[in-house]
Amino acid sequence: MKQLLKTLTETFGPSGYENAVRDVILEEVKPLADEVRVDALGNLIVRKKPSAGAKSPKKIMLAAHMDEIGVIASHIDKNGFVRFTNIGGVFGKYTLGARVRFLNGATGIIGYDHFEHVNDAPPINKMYIDVGASSNANCPVKVGDVAAFDRPYIEMGDRLVAKSMDDRSGVLVLIETLRAIKSTQNDLYFVFTTQEEVGTRGAGTAAYGIDPDLGIAVDVTATGDTPASQKMVMELGKGPCIKIRDAGMLSDPRMVEWMIQTAEKAKIPYQREVLLFGGTDAREIQTSRAGVIAGALSIACRYVHSASEMVDYGDLKNSVKLLTALVSKDVNL
């Protein structure tokens, strides 16, 4: 799992440019799937059919997004410095001084050389990317070129740190769940979605096409276990989080109860999640067509939307166990 997570997080795939990430996933899931297809928005849809003799299979959509936050070049000045804007939730406090890698291979450092308020994070429209150029003519970046933050995966004991844990950790959980399921009473659609960070776009079209009975998003959630954090109960190492509410949705109470009962029966540690900000693909799944019973399984993550997002290895393993237990057997919702 750790080697695959390293590969996933170190692959670059900002929203709308998920191709390289999809290729990595496809190599893992193709031998495990009954059907594989890619839709018009680039979602990778992997089907695991119900076992022979399944009496009343539920069509279940499991979603984890492939994309990560990034930046896009908007202007290059005469000295070759690149102005940029955001793709997704890029925060100034994490951006200044960061390294980025463009999809064409060019690298750069994000700078801001005005030191009157050195301890304040400037807005990103005041920053620039230094790509080592000396003029517009020898700048390796053009307007419209896209980049993601550039940091290697590292392990700190059971704490795993990388860019794009949001949501490559969720992608990992879906892949490992598919690997763990030998048979199922349900019709399962493992969907690796695009463009979540810019408005959960891929999940909406995928859910419309699949028309599931149930939907579960697998994504990260912020924690309340650091010194200056907001008062939330989610912590690293305490198990997968069962979402009750975030800024984009209220989980269906039937879904919440089913997930809690399954975790308790299987003796899997879990946490109750009320997230004060942000959302997941579950929002789009829930409101697709005439509506879907939907919820989310979340992985506690520190420093979300930074280039050093941190998750716990035990939480990943327990997330796979819980998701496998949920979708393997008959579902009566």
pLDDT tens-place string over residues 239-251:
999 999 999 999 9
The answer to the question of residue 156 being in a domain is no
Residue type, 173: V
The answer to the question of residue 61 being in a domain is yes
The answer to the question of residue 155 being in a domain is no
Q: What is the pTM of this model?
A: 0.94
122-159 residues labelled b (16+ CB within 10 A) or e (exposed): eebeebbbebebeeeeebbbeeebbbbbbbebeeeeee
Neighbouring CB atoms inside 10 A of 166's CB total 30
DSSP conformation class of 122: P
Range of the domain at 255: 2-68+163-328
Looking at 149, 174, 194, the residue that finishes a domain is: 149
Q: Is 196 annotated as catalytic?
A: yes
The SS3 call for residue 147 is strand
Residues 281 and 183 both lie in one domain = yes
**Beta strands per DSSP E along 135-240:** 146-149, 154-156, 159-162, 187-193, 214-221
The answer to the question of residue 298 being in a domain is yes
User: How many structural domains is the chain composed of?
Assistant: 2
User: What's the pLDDT tens digit per position in 78-110?
Assistant: 999 999 999 999 988 889 889 999 999 999 999
169-179 residues labelled b (16+ CB within 10 A) or e (exposed): bbbbbbbbbbe
- Mean pLDDT to the nearest integer, 316-333: 94
Which region holds residue 145: left if phi is over 0, alpha if psi is between -120 and 50, else beta?
A: beta
State the catalytic residue, choosing from 176, 196, 235, 273.
196
User: What's the pLDDT tens digit per position in 119-144?
Assistant: 777 888 989 999 999 999 999 999 99
Neighbouring CB atoms inside 10 A of 201's CB total 22
The yes-or-no verdict on residue 159 having pLDDT over 90 is yes
Residues 212 and 294 both lie in one domain = yes
Residues 206 and 303 both lie in one domain = yes
